[in-house]
Amino acid sequence: MSRPIGSTLSSHTLATTEFVDQMPPQWPCLQPAAAAARRFPPFVSRRRRCSSSVPAPVCASAPSGHAREQEDGQSLVVVGGGAAGVYASIRAKALAPHLNVVVIEKGKFLSKVKISGGGRCNVTNGHHLEPSGLARNYPRGYKELRGSFFRSHGPQDTMHWFSDHGVELKTEEDGRVFPVTDNSASVVDCLLNEARRLGVSLQAGKSVSGASVDANGKFVVKVEKRTIDFVDYINANYVLVATGSSQQGYSFAAQHGHSIIPPVPSLFTFKIADKRLADLSGVSFTRVKAKLMLDGIQKSAPELTQTGPMLVTHWGLSGPVVLRLSAWGARELYQDKYQAKLVVDFIPDIHIEDVKRILFQHKDQHAKNKVNNAFPKEFGLVKRFWGFLLEQESLDGDMHWATVPKTHLNAIALRLKQWMFEVVGKGQFKDEFVTGGGVPLSEISLGTMESKKQPNLFFAGEVLNVDGVTGGFNFQNAWTGGYIAGTSIGTLASNSILKEEQACLQLQGS
> How many of the other CB atoms lie within 10 Å of CB of 361?
12
- Confirm if 341 and 300 have CB atoms less than 8 A apart: no
Rounded percentage of the chain residues whose pLDDT exceeds 90: 74
**Amino acid identity, residue 424?**
V
Extents of the domains making up the chain = 75-265+433-501, 268-431
Question: What are the pLDDT digits (tens) for 62-117?
Answer: 333 333 333 457 999 999 999 999 999 999 999 999 999 999 999 999 999 999 98
417 pLDDT exceeds 60?
yes
- Confirm if 506 and 467 have CB atoms less than 8 A apart: no
Model confidence pTM above 0.85: no
pLDDT averaged over every residue in the chain: 85
Alpha-helix residue ranges (DSSP H) falling in 393-451? 406-417
The interaxial angle of helices 185-198 and 83-95, nearest 10 deg, is 30
Q: Coil, strand, or helix at residue 42?
A: coil
Q: Coil, strand, or helix at residue 457?
A: strand
Which top CATH class is 75-265+433-501? alpha beta
Angle at 470 between CA 469 and CA 474, to 5 degrees: 70
User: What is the reported pLDDT for 301?
Assistant: 82
Give the burial string for 303-335 (b: 16+ CB within 10 Å, else e): ebbbebebbbbebbbbbbbbbbbbbbbbbbbbe
Helix (H) or strand (E) holding 494: helix 473-509
Distance, CA of 435 to CA of 263 (rounded, Å) = 6
432 pLDDT exceeds 60?
no
